[in-house]
Amino acid sequence: MRRPEPSFTRLDVEKRRRLLLAEARALFTSHAYDEVSMAAIAKQAGISKALLYHYFPSKQAFFVATLQEAAQELAERVRPDPAAPPRAQLESALGAWLEWVDANRESYGRLMRAAGAVAEVRELIDTVREATAALILARLGPDPAAELRAAVCGWLWFMDGVCLDWVGHGDLERDQIQALLADALGGVLAAAGHPRLAARLKA
């Protein structure tokens, strides 16, 4: 006897897509990318694999879609109040970012490792870094010099390195990591020949 189609399939397209992304995010968070299959996602969601492929043509496309959605949510979460002093904006953004990393240690580590194997993931991470760099540079002033742009971009790579070490070893407190990253940004700004900008970020 054929099982009736679950009510899940009667949802409108956008709601169904959001639910599928939520199911996939849960699986990708708890398992490595290679351990998750489209069949497993379909089973978790209670739909056929054919219907899943109707929405996402491949596991890689599905994975990237979950990352894009998470990146959008995270971007809103870390966006600081533009009216706040520079140091307060930095502390607010770093605090929100590190809170997310702390709550998603395993998935963050998996994401960064996947960037070396999945081109679309690497491109997405690069896009997020570029958008973050643009936001920071816009806060620092109009028409930033090339060395200032390079310093900010380098700091963002440094931040990922620090966070990966943090989630891997777990022997530093979140506030220690936050202070390290905040002071490091001031340091690279000063090294790029902008001590006044660095001074604005001092606690």
Q: What is the mean pLDDT of the chain?
A: 86
Residue 161, pLDDT > 50, answer: yes
By the 8 A CB rule, do 104 and 29 touch? yes
What angle do the packed helices 13-30 and 105-114 form, to 10 degrees?
A: 90
Q: Looking at residue 118, what is its pLDDT?
A: 75
Say which CATH topology domain 7-57 has.
Arc Repressor Mutant, subunit A (1.10.10)
By the 8 A CB rule, do 69 and 31 touch? no
By the 8 A CB rule, do 136 and 148 touch? no
Could you give phi then psi for residue 30, rounded to 5 degrees?
Answer: -95, -10
- Proportion of the chain in helix, strand, coil states, percent, rounded to 5: 80, 0, 20
Q: Looking at residue 102, what is its pLDDT?
A: 93
Place of tokens 């956008």: 14
pTM comes to 0.78
By the 8 A CB rule, do 36 and 58 touch? no
Domain spans in the chain, listed from the N-terminal domain onward: 7-57, 63-200
Distance (Å, rounded) from C-alpha 24 to C-alpha 43?
A: 11
Which amino acid is it at 120?
Answer: E
Mean pLDDT of 45-67: 87
Q: Which CATH number fits domain 63-200: 3.40.710.10, 1.10.1060.10, 1.10.357.10, 3.40.50.720?
A: 1.10.357.10
C-alpha pair distances (Å), 60 with each of 31, 128, 142, 197: 15, 18, 38, 41
